[in-house]
Every structure is written in structure tokens, then in C-alpha cells.
Amino acid sequence: MPDSVDPMNPPEPLGQLQKPVVAVPSLAQVGREPKTGVSAAILRKIRTSYPRSSRIPDAVFGVIILLSAISVFAIVLLVVWELMDKSRMSLHQFGIGFFYGHDWDPVAGSFGAVPFIYGTLVSSFLALLLAVPASIGVAVFVTEMCPQRLRAIISFLVELLAAIPSVIYGLWGIFVLAPLLREYLEPFLARTLGWTGFFTGPMYGLGMLAAGIILAIMVVPVIASITREVMTAVPQNQREAVLALGATRWEMIRMGVLRNARIGIVGGVILGLGRALGETMAVTMVIGNRPEVARSLFAPGYTMASVIANEFTEATGDLYLSALVEIGLALFLVTLIVNALARLLVWSITGGTARVRA
């Protein structure tokens, strides 16, 4: 049997690059029967000794796989339906105004989602702004320049970052990061970049900036490990080819490695963004929890996930609960839109030829 092409998952450019390597039989393979021949023989034997027995298992297998595929759609639809159903009261009361209302007053029963949407988006993009260069740097170092012995240690440490519970990040944020920000970084930023308007006002340490930094630390392992995997998958002969043309090391990494890996890297960034948008505990501990749209990154903010986690358990009154569920709906929509935009971005980079893996 020749290399079968899965119609659901056509080979990526990476795979095409690898093909020539596969086509040349290695020394070990010479003189042996090709693997496909062996499996074909086994298959023939099974077919002859147990006639037609494979049809039923095949059918069952097909149905199970189909059901798993359908379940994804079903779950998404159920989530949307449930969110719409439980927020019906708030949807009815505020209509579309909920999505541009600024007020959040549980006592007066007046609710709007803008400060939370703003906080979620700003903290997540701030996190990506800090995390993407750092993660790519880590991945480049590990795959291209790192001594073999150090490589395992660094990879292990990066993955360890992903295993730390978010409440620990939150506590670390309150007790270590916030004082550092308040004493050193924020005064420095206010002096040097205060004129931009992003770094003004009272310095609490806690606030949007702290949330962005904590989130950045939390998404670095996600982006770095995916970037590393993708970069490792770039065939060695690509590197050699670029070097043979007289490129420096940096040019080799830029043209030979990063260029080939860019789709996978964007996929990793999207995964990281997903984590940043939904992160609750660590953010709520450092962001200052004030439903307000402020230009300064020193000011406290609030995110959608945080307000749900904070207020859901003690929410009394049906309208209040309904409004909190509608915040959940807003979070769902924002995630959907951001992901769609990210996919469009990938599409425009690659000219529509490739797909994102993640």
C-alpha cells in the first residue's frame, strides 16, 4: 500500500519538505520486506480465516468516531443554549445595551458588560505582547543554540511553569510581584513613558499591568513548548541548505526555521490567548477588581471570568444572576470572535494554503 493520504488532514508544507528524506531507503531497510507488505499479508490472512468478520467492528468503530465528532458540536450548542436560556431575564431587560453599558450596580439592578470585556481583552493582549517574544526566544534557544545537557533542564523548567496552579501565581502576584511593581517598575514607567497616558495615576502595584504580567508568565509555557515542537519538526536539511547559501546563524534561524514554523507558532499563540482569556483565579487576585475602563495600565480593572467567579456564589436576586450568566455569554462570544480573527490572520499570512494545527 502506498502512503495513504488522509482526506481530513492533508499534509502540511512541513510534511512535503520531509518527503524526500522518507523516500530514500535507509541502510537498515535495505534487503527487508517493506512494512506495508507485511501488514498487507497479515490483513489477507485475517480476511481468509475469518471471512467478513471485520465488517461489524468497522461499522461500530465508524459510528463511535462519528458520535465523538458530533458530540463536539452538541456540546457547543448546548453551552450556547444554556447560556441564552439562563440569561433570558437579563437579555430581555437590557437588550443589546448590556454589551455597551458601563454600569455594574447590583444594588440598583443595573448591569453592563463593557468594563469586563475591556479588562479581559486588554489583560490578554498585554500578556501576549510580553509572552510571545519571550516564548519564541526560549524556543529558539532550546532548539538552535542550547548545549545538549542544558536543553532537557530548560524544557523541563518551562513545562513546570505550566503545572503550577493558578492560585499560586495569584498569591505570588500579591506578595512578590505587586510590591516590585509598586516600588520599582511603576515609578520607572511613570517617569519615562508617563506622557503616553498608559502609565499614570496612583501606583497600587495591583492592577491591569500586574494582571498582564502574571498572565504572560502563565502563557509562556504554552507558546514556548508548541513553538519548540514545531521548530524541532523543521527538517535538518532546511537549516543546512540555508547555511550552505552563506547565511549567518541568525539568518538561518529566521529564514530556515522560523519561516517554516510560523504557522505552528501562530497556532501556539492562539492556544496561549485562549488560556489568557479564560484565566480566572490568578487574574482576580492581582487585577484590583474594579469595573472601570481606564486608559492607564496602573489602574485596577476587572475581567469577565473574574466577575463570574467573584459574584456568582453570593448573587441574590434573579436579575443579578441572569446578568452574570450573560457575562458568561459575552465571554463565549468574545472568545469566538478573537479566535475567528486569529484564524483569519493565519489565513492571510499563508495566503490560504495552510491550516492551523491547534
Partner 1 sequence: MQGKNSYGTYIWLNLRRNYVIRSLRLLLCIAVLASCAFAETNLNGAGATFPNPIYSKWFNEYHNLHSDIQINYQSVGSGAGIRQVQAGTVDFGASDGPMTDEQLKESKVKVLHVPTVLGSVVPAYNIPGVSGEVKFTPDVLAGIFLGKITKWNDKAITSVNPGVNFPDQNITVVHRSDGSGTTYIFTDYLSKVSQDWQGTVGKSTSVKWPVGLGGKGNEGVAGSIRQLPGSIGYIELIYALQNKIPYGVVQNSSKNFIKASLESTTAAAVGVKMPADFRVSITNPPGKNAYPIASFTWLLIPTSPADANKGKVLKEFLFWMLDKGQTMTEALSYAPLPKEVVEMEKAAITKQVKP
> Shortest distance, CB of residue 125 to partner 1, whole angstroms?
22
> Shortest distance, CB of residue 70 to partner 1, whole angstroms?
32
Tally of CB atoms within 10 A around 315:
17
Among residues 6 and 314, whose Cβ is nearest to partner 1? 314
Binding residue for partner 1, selected from 17, 164, 185, 315, defined by CB under 8 A: 315
164: Cβ–Cβ under 8 A, 6 or more apart, which residues? none
Residue 105 dihedral angles phi and psi, to the nearest 5°:
-130, 95
Q: How far is CA 161 from the centre of its chain?
A: 15
How long a stretch of residues is the chain?
358
Place of cell 465523538: 68
Binding residue for partner 1, selected from 28, 72, 107, 163, defined by CB under 8 A: 107
* Rounded Cα–Cα distance for residues 237 and 8 (Å): 28
> Shortest distance, CB of residue 182 to partner 1, whole angstroms?
8
Among residues 290 and 343, whose Cβ is nearest to partner 1? 290
Q: Which residue stretch of 36-44, 68-76, 178-186, 222-230 sits at the interface with partner 1 (rule: CB under 8 A)?
A: 178-186
Q: Facing residues of 110 across strands?
A: 105
Residue 121 dihedral angles phi and psi, to the nearest 5°:
-65, -45
Q: Which residues, 201 to 260, sit near partner 1 by CB under 8 A?
A: 202, 204-206
Q: Which residue stretch of 86-94, 197-205, 259-267, 327-335 sits at the interface with partner 1 (rule: CB under 8 A)?
A: 197-205
> Shortest distance, CB of residue 86 to partner 1, whole angstroms?
13
> Shortest distance, CB of residue 320 to partner 1, whole angstroms?
8
> Shortest distance, CB of residue 116 to partner 1, whole angstroms?
13
> Shortest distance, CB of residue 2 to partner 1, whole angstroms?
33
Q: Which residues, 255 to 294, sit near partner 1 by CB under 8 A?
A: 284-285, 288-291
CA dihedral 208, 210, 212, 218 (to 10 degrees): -150
For position 178 contacting partner 1 by CB under 8 A, the verdict is: yes
Count of residues interacting with partner 1 (CB under 8 A): 34
Among residues 126 and 307, whose Cβ is nearest to partner 1? 307
Q: Which residue stretch of 36-44, 82-90, 117-125, 314-322 sits at the interface with partner 1 (rule: CB under 8 A)?
A: 314-322
Place of cell 498569591: 171
* Greatest Cα-to-Cα distance within the chain, rounded to the nearest angstrom: 83
Among residues 225 and 284, whose Cβ is nearest to partner 1? 284
Answer yes or no: are the C-beta atoms of 74 and 287 closer than 8 Å. Answer: no
* Rounded Cα–Cα distance for residues 4 and 323 (Å): 52
> Shortest distance, CB of residue 170 to partner 1, whole angstroms?
8
Nearest to 210 by CA among 147, 297, 86, 136: 297
Binding residue for partner 1, selected from 310, 335, 339, 350, defined by CB under 8 A: 310
Q: Is the dihedral of CA 47, 52, 53, 59 positive or negative?
A: positive
Q: Facing residues of 104 across strands?
A: 111
Q: Which residue stretch of 62-70, 90-98, 313-321, 350-358 sits at the interface with partner 1 (rule: CB under 8 A)?
A: 313-321
Integer angstrom CA distances of residue 152 from 142, 149, 157, 234, 265: 9, 6, 9, 19, 21
Q: Which residues, 116 to 175, sit near partner 1 by CB under 8 A?
A: 170, 174-175
Among residues 175 and 195, whose Cβ is nearest to partner 1? 175
For position 179 contacting partner 1 by CB under 8 A, the verdict is: yes
* Rounded Cα–Cα distance for residues 350 and 341 (Å): 14
Answer yes or no: are the C-beta atoms of 123 and 301 closer than 8 Å. Answer: yes
Return residues touching partner 1 (CB under 8 A). 103-108, 170, 174-175, 178-179, 182, 202, 204-206, 284-285, 288-291, 300, 302, 306, 309-316, 321
